[in-house]
Amino acid sequence: MSEFRPYTYVTLSMKPESTPYVGVSFHTPRLKVSAGMLLSNPRPYLELRSSEADVHISTTGAGPVTDADLALARDIFNAAARYLADCECLYAEQSAQDAAESAA
């Protein structure tokens, strides 16, 4: 199997009379994920970071938790569970294929 090098890819698009767009793609096992509660102004946060970029997610307008914030948190939870399940499935398939190739 070929070796894939880790990387983080960040783009910024700014077009006249349009909202700026920032895209962050993490392709690294060195990604750090954390969550917690800010104590100075109690609100939850989720953070994804690498040595190249940080992404912080918190409540709407950094204010009180809203129904939309709860819906987003559930979407993040479900997407993370799906990502985990997909990674586990592919890892198991790759491990089985590697074992079969080693046995041959």
pLDDT in tens, 65-89: 999 999 999 999 999 999 999 999 9
- H-run or E-run covering 82: helix 67-103
Both tokens assigned to 66: 């809203």
Give pLDDT < 70 ranges for the chain. Answer: 1-2
Q: Of how many residues is the chain composed?
A: 104
Both tokens assigned to 88: 């586990």
